Structure 1
Amino acid sequence: MGSGSDIPDRLAGHAVTSGRPWPMGAHFDGEGVNFAVFSAHATQIDLCLFSSDGKRELARIPFPERDGDIWHMHLGGLTPGSLYGFRAHGPYNPEQGYRFNSHKLLIDPYARSFHGRLRWSDALMGYKIGSPRADLSFDTRDSAFAVPKSVVADPAFQWTDDRPPRRAWSDTLIYETHVKGMTAHHPGVEPDQRGTFLGMASDAVLDHLVKLGVTAVELLPVQAFVDDRFLIAKNLRNYWGYQTIGFFAPEPRYLTKGALWEFQTMVRRLHGAGIEVILDVVYNHTGEGDEFGPTLSFRGLDNASYYRLVGGGRHYANDAGTGNTLNLTHPAVLRLVMDSLRYWVETFHVDGFRFDLASVLGREMHGFDPQGGFFDAIRQDPVLAGVKLIAEPWDIGPGGYQLGAFPHPFAEWNDRYRDGVRRFWKGDPGMMPDLAKRLLGSAERFDHYGRGAHSSVNFITSHDGFTLEDLVSYSVKRNWDNGENNRDGHNENHSDNLGVEGPSKDPAIRAARALRKRNLLTTLMVSQGTPMLLAGDEAGNSQGGNNNAYAQDNAVGWLDWAGDPAQTGFVARLAALRAAHPVLRQKRFLHGLVRDSDAQRDVQWARADGQLPAPHEWHDPAFRCLQLTLRMAAEGGNGADALHLVFNQGPALALTLPPSVQGWQILLDTTRPESAQAAAFVSGTIIPAHCVLIFAPAPMPDVTGEAS
């Protein structure tokens, strides 16, 4: 192994020059590779080159040049495919925030690709495990054998005529899914492509998404991540992927040949089907954990800059609940995130991002700030101007719940929608006012600063919680397989087993569950805002009551495709109905204003008897059937499309529809999902218990007496 500035004979001819401080990471320029890495507090950084199998360190070359806090060099003759890593020298003083340890090989924060997997070993720690001085001790074991090697990657790809679908927010139907979970058991995916990006791009998956009416897939984390040590010890894995270690590299476990083109092929094929690709990204923390975690990259390069530190510098802020918090108030860290976002858009053509625990990203020294540096940077960036931005608007830090506080153009996951709609259909008393707000896009939360009605991302279920099937089959979670004595996961699920806990063969219970699912799905699809489906809900997928399957990289977490084809067809029908009626997917919030075109209000509420509810009746527990007439917004629209919706959580009763010159025809009755033909409805007819009904104005007869 070479050391110092010596280069072994086998690397002769690889001239070392100062190179450039940009771009960051490793970049091949036709003559060699330019390396650039940030560290404000290191005293020396070495480039380490490895054999093609990653097992032998061939050379260790100190960076010859520093420009500000960017260390850089150019190594002539080096080509794509070369394996490398860094070692950083500097003070080891955790109480002041410094954790330099040159015995630890470090992943390039800008690495585009990885070779090998993390091998858990005590040698990964910068301190001696078991020492009475804990993390203040110093470990001298070399960690290179256990660390994935960074790869000089060539991202070139023949995109041919690929064009982003650029779906309008108002036309968007999001499908949240997991690359492996979606494809691991799919009978139409080739066995050697199951669990991979290429499997996600298969004809079978694309056909399913198109038939379902999906316009965007939101993929759980696909940036390179690590499996937590405590999970490996329990023979589990980090299935969801929320422990990122490489913000530029696709996760190797989803690749068949380790090549970037596999991810690019997936995006191109999804685009060809008219489907956008949104990535769930984790910029709030890294997979290095707290002060007792491994030294893999950021911690060893410049712990005091990359992380938010407390207690004099030894300990980490833990706003994400995973041990550390990235310090986005530091310009180099903010640059890392912005460079990463642009890279996924420009190199991989992705169409948007869902930001995990996004309140962390907006937390300045004084607290959450919607005008903070991260938001300013992302909103002025021309590369990101055309992509969708979605925030998960909470974290566990101080003031971490920020639903509705994010600036335009962010949309936000709306947990108030999830809980309110669940509670209404579960039969909790007094939920009618909340249901009304959720149906109109939660305007009380989002209608400010010019935000559109799409800002509320509405969902009944997501990866985090019960599936739809489990929501109507279990009253309590069953997370025993996670090895945490069922302590993990949400306890307040607003679920209902409808008579028996778990699977049932009782026809009455199965019918009640099927109806509840249809009511929940229909409510989702007719609400203002952006609907999001959880993958598998359309097919009756169950996780056996596990509402926190983050470690279940097995049949529990993978989708079961031998489910309910009738429910799949019903979801497709709902998506088609939503797409056919602009009144269900409006850009503007509705406030019951009078329209100029017909003197009608854009929103009209009614009880089952057709009368406007009095203020006190909204809170009456006996008020369980709500009627809603929707028209195009009085502001900026006045289109002709109109629908009438009925939500009956109570018993069968007579329904009086609002007056209409044309009369009303019923388009959908959740108690009769097999009926697909519109039929005339006579006001005063008894409607079923526990149903959603959708009406449209009956066609006007033409002069010959035929419907026009």
Structure 2
Amino acid sequence: MSRRPGDAGSGRLAFDPASARSDNLGAEFDGEGTNFALFSENATRVELCLFDEEGRAEIHRLELPEMEGGIWHGYLPGIGPGQVYGYRVHGPYAPAEGHRFNPNKLLLDPYARELRGQIAWDNALHGYVLEEGDDDTPDPRDSAPFMPKAVVADPDFDWEADRAIRRRWQETVIYEAHVKGLTIRHPGVPEEDRGTFRGLAAPAVIDHLKTLGITAVELLPIHAFANDRFLVEKGLSNYWGYNTLSFFAPHAPYLRTGRIREVKEAIRRLHKAGIEVILDVVYNHTCEGNEKGPTLSFRGIDNAAYYLLSPDNPRHSFDTTGTGNTLNIAHPMVLRMVLDSLRYWVQTMHVDGFRFDLASTLGRESTGFEREGAFFAAIRQDPVLSTVKLIAEPWDVGEGGYQVGGFPWPFREWNDKFRDDTRAFWRKDGGLRGADERAAPGQSRAVQPLAPPRDIERQLPGCP
């Protein structure tokens, strides 16, 4: 079987019902073909769209033939790594009921491992007619020309016996870093590799990290993220990345070749140097904003399932993050997506831990923040995730969101009191010695009695 993406353009494609599977979501290549599976419990049908290698021309559109448990799926023989694809999801367009299906909108697979292209902002990316300002009217324009597409990823990679380092917390010193910021001006990094994972893995960068004495790098968001339209129109960009588009795919501009093997190569080199890799992850919201935002993925796949909606009026998003939307972690399939994403980054990409942005949102249930809630319970019982480093940013903007000291074992927490006092101490602000001692590791308000020290994040002078 040829594994070239061009195979999709030759002849008629037909699903193989005997090989279709609903247990693995996303696009999974098995050596002979690819299984496509997408969750949408309120959809009426789902179309798989295959594109040419550049992601410009749609060359096939096929209706996924099977559905069980809200998972639409089908197996295509002969389709392999490099194939560019997206989805169109049919269902009711009924904003007052929380449903915003519009098959005119090409949608990104939430489980996409690799992306092709960037968002090109256009009014057609909205599910409703933006020019009218009324979201009751579905927009008839095709959004595909303006959308990034998913790519079937190649799973082959030689890790060369790479193993998790599993360094104890007591011996851990974490350096918070930005893939681009750390490498873009480093004189020891080849110019063509600056701002990318190849630059992060450059010998000069690794030597610098080892000289500092750090034992782990905590990378600011590397998940694919969006540059907001209002920023782009001002000639600006989202530098930090807290605006997730995909929880599985790395941010394409950080990849020189566009292939995920660059991330694996960087992690392998850092591990060989004895440096763990921790990811700053944003599972509390997405880049689609509130109900008037664009339809790029989750909103068009199943808005009522993937997002928290107002209990009084499901037309509106329920926002506890200050970003316009909140991911509905209380839904079992959304929770599964987050857990699948975390396990993917540990098992397939070999990362060593996570720092959870606005982690209080992940613990929100119908009664508010719940330290014994579904997300924390799932993590604690998971034989993979419970063994890696887990760090919570213990707050959000919702009611009762400040939860320093409220997260269960094995989570550690950022302690904002210790952080702010320490930074002020480095600036030589006055009257801080007593405050710094009160918030020292092992004594801070972030630590519950008998719990291990949680102030394990150290920001070195000069770091953001």
Q: TM-score, normalised by structure 2?
A: 0.95
In the alignment, is residue 326 of structure 1 matched against residue 327 of structure 2? yes
Identity over aligned residues, as a percent? 55
Aligned to 1:117: 118
Q: CA deviation digits over 1:37-61, x for unaligned, max 9?
A: 1001001111111111111111111
Q: Which amino acid aligns with 1:157?
A: F
Aligned to 1:282: 282
Q: Distance in 2 between matches of 1:405 and 1:49?
A: 46
Q: Which amino acid aligns with 1:324?
A: N
Check the 8 A contact 2:9/2:52 in 1, yes or no. Answer: no
Aligned to 2:91: 90
In the alignment, is residue 46 of structure 1 matched against residue 47 of structure 2? yes
Aligned to 1:104: 105
Q: Secondary structure at the match of 1:309?
A: coil
Q: CA deviation digits over 1:206-254, x for unaligned, max 9?
A: 0000011010000000011111001101101111011111111111100
- Higher RCO (Cα < 8 Å, 6 or more apart): 2
TM-aligned CA deviation for residue 442 of structure 1: 3.2
Q: Distance in 1 between matches of 2:124 and 2:386?
A: 44
Q: Distance in 2 between matches of 1:190 and 1:357?
A: 36
Check the 8 A contact 2:26/2:112 in 1, yes or no. Answer: yes
Check the 8 A contact 1:14/1:78 in 2, yes or no. Answer: no
Larger radius of gyration: 1
Aligned to 1:445: 446
Q: Distance in 2 between matches of 1:297 and 1:245?
A: 8
TM-aligned CA deviation for residue 75 of structure 1: 0.9
In the alignment, is residue 251 of structure 1 matched against residue 177 of structure 2? no
Q: Secondary structure at the match of 1:167?
A: coil
Q: Which amino acid aligns with 1:409?
A: P
TM-aligned CA deviation for residue 80 of structure 1: 1.1
TM-aligned CA deviation for residue 419 of structure 1: 2.8
Q: Distance in 1 between matches of 2:116 and 2:40?
A: 24
Aligned to 1:192: 192
TM-aligned CA deviation for residue 447 of structure 1: 2.9
Q: Distance in 2 between matches of 1:59 and 1:308?
A: 34
Aligned to 1:417: 418
Q: CA deviation digits over 1:593-615, x for unaligned, max 9?
A: xxxxxxxxxxxxxxxxxxxxxxx
Give the direction of change, closer, same or farther, for the CA distance of 1:59–1:16 in structure 2 (3 Å limit): farther
List gaps (5 residues or longer) in structure 2.
Answer: 1-7
Q: CA deviation digits over 1:157-176, x for unaligned, max 9?
A: 10012122211100000000
Q: TM-score, normalised by structure 1?
A: 0.63
TM-aligned CA deviation for residue 14 of structure 1: 4.1
Q: Which amino acid aligns with 2:259?
A: A
Q: CA deviation digits over 1:251-306, x for unaligned, max 9?
A: 11000111111000100010011100000000000011111111011000000000
Check the 8 A contact 1:267/1:277 in 2, yes or no. Answer: yes
Q: Secondary structure at the match of 2:246?
A: strand
Q: Which amino acid aligns with 2:95?
A: P
Aligned to 1:267: 267
Q: Which amino acid aligns with 1:67?
A: E
Superposed, 1:304-323 pairs within 5 Å as: 304-310=304-310, 311-323=312-324
Q: Which amino acid aligns with 1:532?
A: R
Q: Distance in 2 between matches of 1:391 and 1:416?
A: 15
Aligned to 1:403: 404
Check the 8 A contact 1:200/1:266 in 2, yes or no. Answer: yes
TM-aligned CA deviation for residue 382 of structure 1: 0.6
Check the 8 A contact 1:14/1:77 in 2, yes or no. Answer: no
In the alignment, is residue 74 of structure 1 matched against residue 75 of structure 2? yes
Q: Which amino acid aligns with 2:218?
A: E
Q: Distance in 2 between matches of 1:368 and 1:15?
A: 44
Q: Secondary structure at the match of 2:387?
A: coil
Q: CA deviation digits over 1:134-160, x for unaligned, max 9?
A: 222210000001111111111221001
Check the 8 A contact 1:409/1:451 in 2, yes or no. Answer: no
Q: CA deviation digits over 1:399-449, x for unaligned, max 9?
A: 1111110001111111111233455675555x554332223433443133x
Aligned to 1:650: none
Q: Secondary structure at the match of 1:246?
A: coil
Q: Distance in 1 between matches of 2:54 and 2:214?
A: 42
Q: CA deviation digits over 1:69-92, x for unaligned, max 9?
A: 111111111111111110000100
Q: CA deviation digits over 1:106-150, x for unaligned, max 9?
A: 000000100111111100000111215x22221000000111111
Q: Which deviates further from its counterpart, 336-345 or 122-131?
A: 122-131
List gaps (5 residues or longer) in structure 1.
Answer: 1-7, 457-529, 542-546, 548-708
Aligned to 1:298: 298
Q: CA deviation digits over 1:16-38, x for unaligned, max 9?
A: 43611021000111221111110
Q: CA deviation digits over 1:534-591, x for unaligned, max 9?
A: 5xx3xx57xxxxx9xxxxxxxxxxxxxxxxxxxxxxxxxxxxxxxxxxxxxxxxxxxx
Q: Distance in 1 between matches of 2:430 and 2:343?
A: 45
